[in-house]
Amino acid sequence: MTTAAPATSPGLAPAQLDAYQRDGYVVLPGLIDPAECDAVVAHMADQAAGRRKVAGMPAIDTSKPNWGRTHNQHLYDPVAMGMLLHPRLRRPLADACGGAVDGVQTMYFWQGSEQRRHQDQYYLPGCFSAWIALVDVSPENGTIWVQPGSHLRKLVTARDLQDAPDKPKPLFGSHYDEAVDALYEQNRAAGLSADVPAIARKGDVVIFHGKLIHRGGPVGKPGSFRHVMANHYIPNDFDGWPHEGWPRFTFDGIRRLTKPLAVA
Ligand SMILES: O=C(O)CCC(=O)C(=O)O
């Protein structure tokens, strides 16, 4: 007999919270029910194959290189919204953050991204992430690689990349990818380890800090599918969110804007 997964989860165990605070990430095994993962994957596979249209979203052109991801699908698609505000994520995210959180951004990946090293808070100030493996993920289909402890060190910001004559030379160079690579090496020289792959089974969730240096690793078996949903959150009481007009959602589904859009 199978039993349905409970709607909520107990939150982070003390050892998991310690790991998150020390390393900047923690893998939560089996948080999402495998049957639910399969249903989301089937939904997304139908969308990519053109069998399902998500109202308001352009059709996915799988003949294009790098077609394999969407941004902010939750704004159009109740299935994606359901994963952003999944009840099983609510307590672990609140524990990691130290209070209630708002969902702000989603990325759905059909394939490994091979994205270069970055820190999410460069793009989404104040954020942290729940990265949901909807299939088994490993270096073969392109998992993420993270530098443990890097969330406790510097965040590269736009200021570091400015190269104005009245400013000292930028700390790390003038290109974002190179700046983060340089920070990664600086962290290594300061005693941090090399980055490590996150190994996740279907239904596992990796919660990671928005200052953690991470990348999408090489896809060992090119063309393989790697269904992952990467959600980003900010603290509910965070008032430094700079993206006017970009809605944030509480886990009770309340939508608000940081500032109302000016009406022309
Ligand atoms: O899943 C990936 O390949 C990249 C995800 C990522 O970089 C992110 O969620 O910020």
Q: In the chain, how many domains are there?
A: 1
In-domain check, residue 189 = no
Query: Across residues 214-239, what is the average pLDDT?
Result: 96
Distance from chain centroid for Cα 34: 20
Instruction: State the average pLDDT for the chain.
Output: 92
6 falls within a domain: no
Which pLDDT tens digit goes with each residue over 37-49? 999 999 999 999 9
CA 214 to ligand 1 centroid distance, Å: 8
- Atom of ligand 1 at shortest range from CA of 129: 9
Tokens of 4: 């349905």
Q: Using CA atoms, how far apart are residues 162 and 130, in angstroms rounded to an integer?
A: 31
Q: Is 144 touching ligand 1 by the criterion CB < 6 Å?
A: yes
- pLDDT tens figures, 143-178: 999 999 999 999 999 888 876 666 666 666 668 999
* Residue 260 in domain: no
Residue 168 falls within a domain, yes or no? no
Q: What proportion of the chain, given as a percentage, has pLDDT over 70?
A: 91
Q: Which of 88, 73, 97, 211 is nearest to 152 (CA)?
A: 211
- Asked whether the predicted pLDDT for residue 1 surpasses 50, the reply is no
In a domain, 3, yes or no: no
How is residue 10 written in tokens? 């107990």
pLDDT at 172: 66
More confident residue, 83 or 58: 83
Q: What is the pLDDT of residue 175?
A: 85
27 lines ligand 1 (CB under 6 A): no
Which of the residue ranges 1-15, 133-147, 149-163, 176-190 would you say has the lowest mean pLDDT? 1-15
What predicted TM-score, i.e. pTM, was given to this entire model? 0.93
* pLDDT at residue 189 greater than cutoff 50: yes
pLDDT at 7: 73
Q: Residue 129: enclosing H or E segment and its boundaries?
A: strand 128-133
Range of the domain at 75: 19-149+195-243
Domain assignment present for residue 170? The answer is no
The confidence score (pLDDT) of residue 244 equals 84
- The position carrying tokens 């209630």 is 100
More confident residue, 259 or 190: 190
Per DSSP, what are the bridge partners of residue 109? 69, 228
CATH number at residue 231: 2.60.120.620
Report yes or no on 167 lying in a domain. Answer: no
- State the pLDDT at residue 116: 95
230 belongs to a structural domain: yes
Mutation probe of ligand 1 site: the residue of 104, 105, 113, 234 with most atoms within 8 A of C-beta: 113
Cα separation of 13 and 21, whole Å? Answer: 12
pLDDT at 212 over 80: yes
